[in-house]
A and B are shown apart, each in its own frame.
Chain A
Amino acid sequence: MSQSRRRMIVVLGVMTVFMLVLSACGTATAAPKTQVEVFSWWTTGGEAAGLQKLMDQFNAENPKYEVINAAVAGGAGSNAKAVLKTRMLGGDPPDSFQVHMGHELIDTWVTTDYMEPLDDVYSKYGLNDVFPQGVLDIVSYNGHPWSVPVNIHRANVLWFNKSVMEANGIDTATLSTFDGWQAAAEKLKAAGIAPLALGDNGPWAAVHLFEVVAAGTLGADKYKGLWDGTTDWAGADVTAALENFTMMLGYVNSDHAALSWDQANQLVIDGKAAMTIMGDWVDGDYVAKKFTGFGWASPPGTKGIYDALSDTFGLPKKAKQAEATKMFLGVLGSKQGQEAFNILKGSICARKDCDYSKFDAYLQSSAADWSKDAIVPSLAHGAAASEGWTTSITDVIAAFVTSQDVAAAQAGLVQACKDAGICK
């Protein structure tokens, strides 16, 4: 190797190092604020706008910091959760992340020692007094709270198109029992209208319908018993729930496998379908699409039951900005923060003391029910069961929607409960 060539290599090497140093300086000077990374799957619509409101509030109060929304799109967070898991297991967690209240948080991250307890956040901001006891129970484990809930959604709502129901002479009060519902569905079917709109392109929507039917068939206490093993999955009432589910699947739109939940809801808006059973984010969908001709009722058998889910935010153990994150969690739990967020998201506050005068009619009725109904945890949205159990049930239900084999599905559900370590 000649002298000049060797020199060339040295020069190139020095230049490379120099450029690396330069680029490092570049990013350092461009961002004088310390970034706090909040990880979520809210990328569009009211939910993203609501989160932005909360972040703006925090950023205005704390000029030293800047909260950024590191969002990964994808329904019910399926893509975001995969990214989050690799980051958590790899020791590079975000400063805070969105997680469903209940077993999704506790079984996945708390029992495995990846989270910080939030006792000081709860006491500093007085959160122990403002959340209902039912919520405190669900976010706590071993006597410590582990996340701050920002909202409450209801899973068991039956939405319908008022003019379609009137045109077919259906009294919506009859929808509160399975027999009454079926009679109404027969009438609609005869009139050439799909009685029930379903969009289970994402299989969770079928699980969602199943959990509402199960709660309606079993009642609040037995439904809750499914999740701690006191209700027998092999029992006759689970069989009855699967049969009711089969009955309802007989009245869904034929293209349900191709649609998402909001496309299914569009069928209701267009009057091509009469009803849909979906969580109360449907209300936000109607608002966004400027549709006012809708009404709501309790799905069969679920009057007096509030099938709840909640989005919460926690603090991972290795978070880089723990102090700033705790302040942000304080904003999430504040009255001002929750009111600003939930009006945009279309959900009710997790706090008891929100002022609902500015909320729409549905949310006001939901808030009234929240204070008096029996609260049960949602399966499809992470509150009732661990992620492993929920995924196993999702597999069983997704196969069932096509096969409608009750015995096989029930055997699968029994096995799923055993695998989860809840049933013997």
Chain B
Amino acid sequence: MKFLHANSDRLIAILCILPSLIAVGIFVYAFIGWTIWSSLLKWNDMMPLRSIWPFPDNITLFPPNAPFAGLDNYYRLIFTDARFQQDIQNTILFTVLFIASSLFLGMFLAVLLDQRIRGEALFRAIYIFPMSVSFIVTGVMWRWILNPGTAQTGAIGVNQILEIIGLGFLKNGWYTDPAIGIKAVVIAATWQMAGYTMAMYLAALRAIPDELREAARVDGATEWQVFRYIILPLLNPVTLSAVIVLGHISLKIFDLISAMTGPGAGFSTDVPAYYMFDTVFRGNHFARGASIATLLLLMVSVLVVPYLIYNARTEVQR
């Protein structure tokens, strides 16, 4: 009797997760499969989708009847496509700078707020507010703030401020200058996400028991030593989580680029996701776009999978 009971429990459990299993199976894994399949075809022009048995002929859900291309689309992207190579460089530069600046600024703000100053709630809200804005809004805003202005308008935005405070020699073309390019976008992205890392760090700082600091101080440690040898090591898990979250945002970034700069002069602000959009919807290069999507998935996996494994292990240990 007990055995039967356990079995029906399990049945109900399976029934309960079945809908989401099916939905995830179709809308995540089947679509990934569809994309990889497309990326292996010679499908770089408009072609009608096709039907596959057992679906009726008018249900055309599958990639077209294009010749098999093997890994040619990938090979061409990685080894001969100057735009894609530039995109990868941009992505690496963007990811490194964006993560570094968000972590640094976030930690700095969190440490300041942790001093239990007056009006802390207000400052916390101000710093975290940008995160509630969408990347499109951020992009449009910073497009204007960092707009170098033209011959008719004179200097506007940041350039105008620099001019007014007598630092006119710092004026430059920002995102329109190929030498700066993606670094200007880092400023906007950091503005948006630094508050988020601040919140994570602040929570972690508050979780550190005061006894630890007190003990260190009793042992004669300076405030800097307390921070360096007590606080910082205890923040490591948060840093790791923040790197994962920021990292996968920066690898997939599209909306901010699209609203703020587009591909930029000489593709200086182009990223793989933008190239994917451009090449599929403007150029009808569906297979090339699918290959870029697959490469992006691989890049994000390299970042996220070790983290998931690490997390799973520590959960088990607990």
Contacts of B152 in A (CB 8 A): 266-267, 270, 272
Q: Is the CB of A408 within 8 A of B82?
A: yes
Partner of A89, one of B49, B147, B279, B282: B49
* A259 to B, closest residue via Cβ: B150
Q: Is the CB of B47 within 8 A of A258?
A: no
On whether A412 and B147 interact (CB within 8 A), knowing A89-B49, A401-B265, A419-B44, the answer reads no
Partner of B266, one of A113, A388, A399, A419: A399
Q: Is the CB of A391 within 8 A of B151?
A: no
Partner of B83, one of A202, A266, A399: A399
Any chain A CB within 8 A of the CB of B227? Answer: no
Any chain B CB within 8 A of the CB of A78? Answer: yes
On whether A258 and B282 interact (CB within 8 A), knowing A82-B277, A107-B46, A399-B82, the answer reads no
Contacts of B282 in A (CB 8 A): 78, 81-82, 387, 391
Any chain A CB within 8 A of the CB of B283? Answer: yes
Question: In whole Å, how far is A418's beta carbon from the nearest beta carbon of chain B?
Answer: 11
Q: Is the CB of B83 within 8 A of A391?
A: no
Question: In whole Å, how far is B160's beta carbon from the nearest beta carbon of chain A?
Answer: 15
Contacts of B80 in A (CB 8 A): 415
Q: Is the CB of B278 within 8 A of A391?
A: yes
Q: Is the CB of B262 within 8 A of A201?
A: yes
Number of residues in A with C-beta < 8 Å to the partner? 43
Any chain A CB within 8 A of the CB of B90? Answer: no
Task: Mark each residue of chain B from 92 to 135: 1 if its CB lies under 8 Å from any CB of chain A, else 0.
Answer: 00000000000000000000000000000000000000000000
The complex places the Cα of A263 from the Cα of B83 at a distance, in Å, of: 27
Contacts of A266 in B (CB 8 A): 150, 152
Contacts of A125 in B (CB 8 A): none
Q: Is the CB of A399 within 8 A of B49?
A: no
Contacts of A270 in B (CB 8 A): 151-152
* A206 to B, closest residue via Cβ: B265
Task: Mark each residue of chain B from 272 to 306: 1 if its CB lies under 8 Å from any CB of chain A, else 0.
Answer: 00000111011111000000000000000000000
On whether A388 and B148 interact (CB within 8 A), knowing A81-B282, A201-B262, A203-B263, the answer reads no
On whether A392 and B283 interact (CB within 8 A), knowing A253-B151, A263-B150, the answer reads yes
Q: A97-131: which have CB < 8 Å to B?
A: 107-109, 111-114
Task: Mark each residue of chain A from 71 to 96: 1 if its CB lies under 8 Å from any CB of chain B, else 0.
Answer: 00000001001100100010000000
Q: Is the CB of B178 within 8 A of A402?
A: yes
Any chain B CB within 8 A of the CB of A403? Answer: yes
The complex places the Cα of A109 from the Cα of B266 at a distance, in Å, of: 31
The complex places the Cα of A402 from the Cα of B265 at a distance, in Å, of: 7
Question: In whole Å, how far is B28's beta carbon from the nearest beta carbon of chain A?
Answer: 20
Q: Is the CB of A112 within 8 A of B47?
A: yes
* B266 to A, closest residue via Cβ: A402
On whether A258 and B264 interact (CB within 8 A), knowing A108-B46, A388-B45, A412-B82, the answer reads no
Question: In whole Å, how far is B41's beta carbon from the nearest beta carbon of chain A?
Answer: 14
Contacts of A395 in B (CB 8 A): 83
The complex places the Cα of A397 from the Cα of B189 at a distance, in Å, of: 29
Task: Mark each residue of chain B from 239 to 268: 1 if its CB lies under 8 Å from any CB of chain A, else 0.
Answer: 000000000000000000000001111111
The complex places the Cα of A412 from the Cα of B83 at a distance, in Å, of: 11
The complex places the Cα of A386 from the Cα of B44 at a distance, in Å, of: 11
Any chain B CB within 8 A of the CB of A255? Answer: yes
* A113 to B, closest residue via Cβ: B48
* A199 to B, closest residue via Cβ: B150
On whether A391 and B279 interact (CB within 8 A), knowing A89-B49, A112-B47, A253-B151, the answer reads yes
Task: Mark each residue of chain A from 245 to 289: 1 if its CB lies under 8 Å from any CB of chain B, else 0.
Answer: 000000001010111000100110010100000000000000000
Q: Is the CB of B148 within 8 A of A267?
A: no
Q: Is the interface of A mostly helix, strand, loop or mixed?
A: helix
The complex places the Cα of A398 from the Cα of B279 at a distance, in Å, of: 14
Q: Is the CB of A401 within 8 A of B266?
A: yes
Contacts of A391 in B (CB 8 A): 278-279, 282-285
Q: Is the CB of B150 within 8 A of A258?
A: yes
Q: Is the CB of B46 within 8 A of A267?
A: no
The complex places the Cα of A272 from the Cα of B150 at a distance, in Å, of: 11
The complex places the Cα of A78 from the Cα of B283 at a distance, in Å, of: 10
Question: B148, B263, B265 — which one has the most chain A CB atoms within 10 A of its CB?
Answer: B265
Q: Is the CB of B46 within 8 A of A81?
A: no
Task: Mark each residue of chain A from 12 to 45: 1 if its CB lies under 8 Å from any CB of chain B, else 0.
Answer: 0000000000000000000000000000000000
* B258 to A, closest residue via Cβ: A79
Q: Is the CB of A255 within 8 A of B265?
A: no
Any chain A CB within 8 A of the CB of B197? Answer: no
Question: In whole Å, how far is A143's beta carbon from the nearest beta carbon of chain B?
Answer: 21
Q: A374-424: which have CB < 8 Å to B?
A: 386-388, 390-392, 395, 398-399, 401-403, 408, 412, 415, 419, 421
Q: Is the CB of A387 within 8 A of B283?
A: yes
Contacts of A258 in B (CB 8 A): 147-148, 150, 173, 176
Q: Is the CB of A108 within 8 A of B281?
A: no
The complex places the Cα of A422 from the Cα of B209 at a distance, in Å, of: 71
Q: B15-69: which have CB < 8 Å to A?
A: 44-49
The complex places the Cα of A388 from the Cα of B288 at a distance, in Å, of: 11
The complex places the Cα of A324 from the Cα of B177 at a distance, in Å, of: 50
On whether A255 and B284 interact (CB within 8 A), knowing A89-B49, A398-B266, A399-B267, the answer reads no
Q: Is the CB of B45 within 8 A of A398?
A: no
The complex places the Cα of A113 from the Cα of B60 at a distance, in Å, of: 14
Contacts of B178 in A (CB 8 A): 257, 402
Question: In whole Å, how far is A411's beta carbon from the nearest beta carbon of chain B?
Answer: 10
Contacts of A114 in B (CB 8 A): 48
Contacts of B284 in A (CB 8 A): 108, 386-388, 391
Q: Is the CB of A112 within 8 A of B48?
A: yes
Contacts of A402 in B (CB 8 A): 178, 265-266, 268
The complex places the Cα of A203 from the Cα of B261 at a distance, in Å, of: 12
The 4 A-B pairs at the shortest CB distance, nearest first, are namely A402-B266, A391-B283, A257-B265, A82-B281
Interface residues of A (CB under 8 A from B): 78, 81-82, 85, 89, 107-109, 111-114, 200-203, 253, 255, 257-259, 263, 266-267, 270, 272, 386-388, 390-392, 395, 398-399, 401-403, 408, 412, 415, 419, 421
Jot down 18 A-B pairs with beta carbons below 8 A, ordered by A: A108-B46, A108-B284, A111-B46, A201-B262, A257-B177, A257-B264, A257-B265, A258-B147, A266-B152, A270-B152, A387-B282, A387-B284, A388-B285, A395-B83, A398-B263, A401-B265, A401-B266, A419-B44
Interface residues of B (CB under 8 A from A): 44-49, 80, 82-83, 86, 147-148, 150-152, 173, 176-178, 262-268, 277-279, 281-285
16 extra A-B contacts, CB within 8 A, seeds A85-B281, A200-B265, A258-B173: A78-B282, A109-B46, A112-B47, A114-B48, A202-B262, A255-B151, A255-B173, A257-B173, A387-B283, A387-B284, A391-B278, A392-B283, A395-B83, A398-B267, A399-B266, A401-B265
